[in-house]
A and B are shown apart, each in its own frame.
Chain A
């Protein structure tokens, strides 16, 4: 009996051993310690110079995002103006009409898209500005990268302030609820923040890059953008001096206006800043700029939105080469030999967004088309406008006429300041039409939006429609901290 008991006990301990083996083996602390498979995490990033470059690249790459350059951007800046109609076919994207008619309400989806799109860019820049200073790397490169990030951050805030007025300023990666959800700054504070960023950037950025870096922000871009920010605040002396600094950097007008907007005209001697886009065969996720596609001839190349108005067609003076270069008429044959579908649903399309059919469409139409954000011609027009306001008529005449001359038009002779101002404003319209959404904001800045847009049949109301409503869901998410613009 005793022996058997011993035997059984022996077996019991074997069993207990087997069970506890399982238990202890499993219990060891690291069994459940599984790092995310195949996924780098935050703590591994911002360690090397390569990370610094990649992070700054991401801000550039993000510029071509849908929200930043396609429907949301074009709804707010272009359909709203007297330069473009919704386009496409009547039922398609009917919400665009709300922007055309100034009947948009705070729930409309493009508002939120635009808002979020800009803050995404700002966050990418803030990540760089917060983290790159701690990376051990080439100091000169580090300084330059930080300046690029500041330029791009300013670019996004400038989009925001023009669309919505003063906005919450997020100047670092938010860590607390307060930092995540700041109240709206005033328009002036927002402009001051933009100016500070651009001033910092201009002090560091080079005037030009080597071939491998063409497309990065330059000193000229920072100064030119700063001039434009000043223009929006009518700080004429600053506009004058900043544009003159840019004019000393070696930019020049290219002779053929039409060619500026072709692939071969990208980053030419007139270009100050462009959003770079490219088809990478096999990588359509990166070949994602839809700016040209959404505006391209419907039932031939693309979606056919944001079509030129008749008013714009009529705005060009006789003999202005820019008319043919800006407006693509159905039935015409382009210099590259494309016959524009005579049965296209819209009579006109934006020719600045035209990409000849010979260019690859491997990832869809027009994925190679850069978006011209700032050209030397605009510097000259800003210079002319500031000079005129300051009574420096010679400078105003000379800069304005450089632009007109390239367009094949006769020079203007100064008569009165008011007459000259109208001339310059008109020149801005036809020079920059359908290029970067300048027209609506110009009309607001010039204080004549109601007059011009109402004449065009739109319901613009002064005191309300100068800015768009803050998206309602952002107000909700802020717990009411964001205050709606008046009238919405």
Chain B
């Protein structure tokens, strides 16, 4: 594959060689095309070289040694780039048009940049300003509701990364997170990045734009470009805020009186004495938490060298008592022009965090523990649920106090590159990326007896350290040349990568010294010492190329090809081709569109491409030896190691293949004040990884095997519009609206009519979801509730003779007068059908206001908290208010006796997950230049910010943002970290 490409490059090279000519010195001035004001700090670049200059205070510039046939590229933030052929001229004055629409902006594509107007695929771009005008701690949270077709599901936990899905879920059991590329380095999430360090974030949504990343691009690609220094005076900036976080939409539970009433209804009258004191467990564990964030940055440089450095500190408390997260971020970047043709540079990002953690099940514990249990007894001991006739429960306060876990991690992500421009048209770039991360935690459970079930005979210490490091070496050669009406860019490259990870840890009992300094494995009872150690290694080898061709700026073509190899797969099947093609037609450049004023820009585009998802378990194809603790045999009480071959691997397991078609249209109307973009896409995942049950006679340790059995489809539309204008000189505003509709479906299964049950509720084989042909991935599944039995007689006469009054009446779907597996039906869909966002910005004189609204509709949640009951768990207020409590009281809510068949997954527990939220509200005031120049400041802005101040939903839970461990077990509410609103006061100073 590489040979024709090299030949082609060779041809281009010789073609250019023949045309090489002499050099000139060019001088001139850059001004605003509207008012002729000089543009200070505009960049003039000689294409294909590192030659360039910045305009001075008068907009002037001079560049020596410019090849006389060179092309100048002039750019300035907020203006449209202009290219000018030198053609031997020595004096060139340039007038730049303000870029009033995003169509004219430059977007980052894989291994290069393009003007948005020339892009043939679907790329959404979020610029630094969008990150600055909100105070999210995670960059991914910042784009929630900003980009059509991108679903962001937040976790309320400090330091946690949101789940992000581009155009639905394309995989049931493989990874569904997009690929993140930070300054050319592949990373798996962005939690190590400070949003304030981001210059732009591009989301490559369709195959034509993403397929340059081949086997990793199936879930979309998020390219993050961090800020780089610009030549000119040093700019020093401080950006900080302090604030508080408070839980919103607190779930009301019953109080002691109400609970007692329910308990007595469930069990027997008067079994629980009334008038017990009441504890609100959520009030007990939740708190108002502090957050503060500081970031200092400096950037600047000269023609020869530019730099930027920054350091940030975040201190965030969780809304649960004891939860704390601290983050340090630091970044340094430098670009050096060694000669007029050679440029080198590097960027490095350091990230460090430490946290005090909370037990994973604390929210579930607080949900289930009846309010009749006190936090503490009069004697000061923890309130013990065992003192009440309610069964085994943990006291959440005791859980919090007993839990002792600290985590910390450090990560260094860096990239160094060298760039060589030659023959005015070629750029060779080599870049080496390194990523090194360490994560540690230590968990200590002291020897203690807090309640009947929260006790430990011996202390227990676990320490673990995991390390991940990788290198990535990429080489690209870019050819860029304009031949008359033909503009051609050709890219060819290679990429190789190795990633390694290892976890090493141990556990020990009987550590009797409990100070932090003594919590090490060596201080425990050495006869109980155990170690664990595992690792993984993966390598990639890839070749890729891209051709961008434009004729008269009217007809656009993008073709890419990537040839990817991965060590995850068996030797015979390590490589695959990932091609794509995109076509664009800028109608507004056609003569028949020239004589009208309404439409300023109109482009039709269509693309098709193939992508891969290699995010499936590695080495699954080789049969491992199972050396499991449960295979240890005891003889005379002495353990003897046991191992065997018990895992049955699938025949072969390869990457998933996504083939995606995208058809789009882009408009700009009314002097570019209104822009509109629409896309239709059809994304089909072939060879989808799907688990099928393994026949029992195989006797395998695994009850199922995973193979490339399924075909999935996501099909939908995306609309985005923005209205941008000003009224007079003092008031300007912009309103952006985006909307996306997606339909997800399993459309084929090679193994026939099998289905995959998942969403285990932990009740002993109660699965709440199913994935099978014709349904969305992970559909909720169970019995349909047809009402409530109003009397025992009614139940006796039904298909559920063992049921009693107040129990669910399930629909007997097959009419055989028994209720069993065959009567189960699809109850809901956890994959949102509709995502939307409204992003507004208003500026009046020095005051600015942003309001961002975001919502999700056509989605369901499985209320696991209500369903997962073992006995006398607490009830939510809504249940208390509406429950069945005698004939005729309710035909929708059951009685308090939620046991037995009432716990089978059923439609009662499936609720609408629709919500609408004010995601970000920011009011800012920018001090006038006259005021602050006396303080030697260049800029000063103060702001008030509210994040998630209002979320509206019907769901009976803390948060409609539920998420889940995998697409087949998604949207099941079990112990979700409650969402909170954050209110901040911040300041931004530039010197």
Please indicate the chain A residues that have their CB under 8 angstroms from the CB of B703 in the complex.
116
Q: Give the complex CA separation of A170 and B17 in angstroms.
A: 74
Q: How many residues of B contact A (CB 8 A)?
A: 99
Annotate B686-724 by CB proximity to A: 1 below 8 A, 0 otherwise: 000000011111111101000000000000000000000
CB of B727 within 8 A of chain A?
no
CB of B936 within 8 A of chain A?
no
Q: Are B494 and A23 in contact (CB under 8 A)?
A: yes
Q: Are A92 and B901 in contact (CB under 8 A)?
A: no
CB of B451 within 8 A of chain A?
no
In the complex formed, the residue of A with least CB distance to B426 is: A15
CB of A140 within 8 A of chain B?
no
CB of B422 within 8 A of chain A?
yes
CB of B820 within 8 A of chain A?
yes
Also in contact, A61 and B636, with CB within 8 A (given A31-B541, A36-B622, A474-B695)? no
CB of A53 within 8 A of chain B?
yes
Please indicate the chain A residues that have their CB under 8 angstroms from the CB of B17 in the complex.
5, 8
Q: Are A61 and B631 in contact (CB under 8 A)?
A: yes
Q: Are B494 and A22 in contact (CB under 8 A)?
A: yes
Q: Give the complex CA separation of A222 and B533 in angstroms.
A: 40
A88 to chain B, nearest CB (A): 9
B residues 523-544 in Cβ contact with A at 8 Å: 525, 527-530, 533-539, 541, 543
A218 to chain B, nearest CB (A): 12
Interface 9-mer from A37-45, A242-250, A307-315? A37-45
B899 to chain A, nearest CB (A): 3
Please indicate the chain A residues that have their CB under 8 angstroms from the CB of B249 in the complex.
none
Q: Are B903 and A58 in contact (CB under 8 A)?
A: no
Q: Give the complex CA separation of A476 and B627 in angstroms.
A: 31
Interface 9-mer from B186-194, B643-651, B911-919, B960-968? B643-651
Q: Are A38 and B632 in contact (CB under 8 A)?
A: no
A residues 271-305 in Cβ contact with B at 8 Å: 276-278, 280-283, 285-286, 288, 299
Also in contact, A116 and B636, with CB within 8 A (given A33-B571, A57-B631, A58-B643)? no
Please indicate the chain A residues that have their CB under 8 angstroms from the CB of B636 in the complex.
211-215, 267
Most chain-A Cβ atoms within 10 A of its Cβ — which of B507, B696, B802?
B696
CB of A112 within 8 A of chain B?
yes
Q: Give the complex CA separation of A5 and B802 in angstroms.
A: 94
CB of B588 within 8 A of chain A?
no
Annotate B493-523 by CB proximity to A: 1 below 8 A, 0 otherwise: 0101000101000011100000000000000
Q: Are B642 and A174 in contact (CB under 8 A)?
A: no
CB of B821 within 8 A of chain A?
yes
Q: Give the complex CA separation of A209 and B618 in angstroms.
A: 43
Taking a contact as CB atoms closer than 8 A, the residue among B538, B624, B903 that contacts A91 in the complex is B903
Annotate A61-72 by CB proximity to B: 1 below 8 A, 0 otherwise: 110110000010
Q: Are A282 and B530 in contact (CB under 8 A)?
A: yes
Q: Are B764 and A109 in contact (CB under 8 A)?
A: yes
Annotate B418-440 by CB proximity to A: 1 below 8 A, 0 otherwise: 00101100001010000000000
CB of B567 within 8 A of chain A?
yes
CB of B565 within 8 A of chain A?
yes
Annotate A17-60 by CB proximity to B: 1 below 8 A, 0 otherwise: 01100110111000111101111111011100001011111111
Q: Are A54 and B638 in contact (CB under 8 A)?
A: no
CB of B566 within 8 A of chain A?
yes
Please indicate the chain B residues that have their CB under 8 angstroms from the CB of A126 in the complex.
699
Q: Are A54 and B642 in contact (CB under 8 A)?
A: yes
Taking a contact as CB atoms closer than 8 A, the residue among B428, B641, B695 that contacts A18 in the complex is B428
Please indicate the chain A residues that have their CB under 8 angstroms from the CB of B508 in the complex.
282
Q: Give the complex CA separation of A474 and B697 in angstroms.
A: 9
Taking a contact as CB atoms closer than 8 A, the residue among A91, A122, A182, A471 that contacts B900 in the complex is A91
Please indicate the chain B residues that have their CB under 8 angstroms from the CB of A170 in the complex.
697, 699
In the complex formed, the residue of B with least CB distance to A107 is: B821
Q: Give the complex CA separation of A478 and B543 in angstroms.
A: 45
Q: Are B457 and A278 in contact (CB under 8 A)?
A: no
Please indicate the chain B residues that have their CB under 8 angstroms from the CB of A41 in the complex.
622-625
Q: Are A37 and B537 in contact (CB under 8 A)?
A: yes
Also in contact, A89 and B699, with CB within 8 A (given A45-B645, A281-B509, A362-B457)? no
Q: Give the complex CA separation of A127 and B700 in angstroms.
A: 11
Taking a contact as CB atoms closer than 8 A, the residue among B571, B641, B697 that contacts A54 in the complex is B641
Q: Give the complex CA separation of A281 and B98 in angstroms.
A: 73
Q: Are A42 and B764 in contact (CB under 8 A)?
A: no
CB of A433 within 8 A of chain B?
no
Also in contact, A57 and B633, with CB within 8 A (given A18-B430, A45-B643, A45-B645)? yes
Please indicate the chain B residues that have their CB under 8 angstroms from the CB of A90 in the complex.
899-900
Q: Are B624 and A36 in contact (CB under 8 A)?
A: yes
Please indicate the chain B residues that have their CB under 8 angstroms from the CB of A61 in the complex.
630-633, 642
Taking a contact as CB atoms closer than 8 A, the residue among B423, B452, B632, B900 that contacts A286 in the complex is B632
Q: Give the complex CA separation of A184 and B541 in angstroms.
A: 50
Q: Are A57 and B428 in contact (CB under 8 A)?
A: no
CB of B376 within 8 A of chain A?
no
Q: Give the complex CA separation of A277 and B452 in angstroms.
A: 26
Q: Are A92 and B535 in contact (CB under 8 A)?
A: no
Q: Are B630 and A60 in contact (CB under 8 A)?
A: no
Q: Are A19 and B477 in contact (CB under 8 A)?
A: yes
Q: Are A121 and B699 in contact (CB under 8 A)?
A: yes
Please indicate the chain A residues that have their CB under 8 angstroms from the CB of B430 in the complex.
18
Taking a contact as CB atoms closer than 8 A, the residue among A31, A58, A213 that contacts B644 in the complex is A58
Annotate B215-238 by CB proximity to A: 1 below 8 A, 0 otherwise: 000000000000000000000000
Q: Give the complex CA separation of A91 and B565 in angstroms.
A: 54
Please indicate the chain A residues that have their CB under 8 angstroms from the CB of B571 in the complex.
32-33
Q: Are B475 and A22 in contact (CB under 8 A)?
A: yes
Most chain-B Cβ atoms within 10 A of its Cβ — which of A27, A36, A478?
A36
Q: Give the complex CA separation of A285 and B700 in angstroms.
A: 19
CB of A196 within 8 A of chain B?
no
In the complex formed, the residue of B with least CB distance to A4 is: B20
B10 to chain A, nearest CB (A): 8
Q: Are B642 and A58 in contact (CB under 8 A)?
A: yes
B558 to chain A, nearest CB (A): 23
A residues 55-102 in Cβ contact with B at 8 Å: 55-62, 64-65, 71, 89-95, 97
Also in contact, A216 and B525, with CB within 8 A (given A91-B903, A362-B457)? no
B893 to chain A, nearest CB (A): 18
Most chain-B Cβ atoms within 10 A of its Cβ — which of A12, A121, A286, A471?
A286
Please indicate the chain B residues that have their CB under 8 angstroms from the CB of A105 in the complex.
818, 820-821
A172 to chain B, nearest CB (A): 11
CB of B640 within 8 A of chain A?
yes
In the complex formed, the residue of B with least CB distance to A32 is: B567
Also in contact, A15 and B645, with CB within 8 A (given A174-B698, A213-B635, A277-B634)? no
B114 to chain A, nearest CB (A): 24
In the complex formed, the residue of A with least CB distance to B540 is: A32
Please indicate the chain B residues that have their CB under 8 angstroms from the CB of A413 in the complex.
none
CB of B131 within 8 A of chain A?
no
Taking a contact as CB atoms closer than 8 A, the residue among A4, A5, A27, A55 that contacts B643 in the complex is A55
Q: Give the complex CA separation of A170 and B626 in angstroms.
A: 21
Q: Give the complex CA separation of A92 and B873 in angstroms.
A: 13
CB of B302 within 8 A of chain A?
no
CB of B112 within 8 A of chain A?
no
B877 to chain A, nearest CB (A): 22
Q: Give the complex CA separation of A97 and B500 in angstroms.
A: 51
Give 16 pairs: A residue, B residue, CB < 8 Å, sorted on A. A23-B2, A54-B627, A54-B643, A61-B631, A71-B764, A105-B821, A123-B699, A126-B699, A170-B699, A180-B698, A181-B697, A211-B636, A216-B635, A281-B458, A282-B530, A283-B629
Binding site for A on B (CB under 8 A): 2, 6, 13, 17, 20, 386, 389, 391-392, 420, 422-423, 428, 430, 452, 457-458, 473, 475, 477, 494, 496, 500, 502, 507-509, 525, 527-530, 533-539, 541, 543, 565-567, 571, 574, 618-619, 622-646, 693-701, 703, 754, 764-765, 802, 818, 820-821, 869-871, 897-901, 903
New contact pairs (18) apart from A38-B533, A215-B634, CB-CB < 8 Å: A36-B618, A37-B537, A39-B619, A40-B627, A41-B623, A42-B623, A51-B643, A58-B642, A64-B630, A91-B869, A91-B903, A123-B698, A126-B699, A180-B698, A212-B636, A282-B507, A288-B629, A473-B693
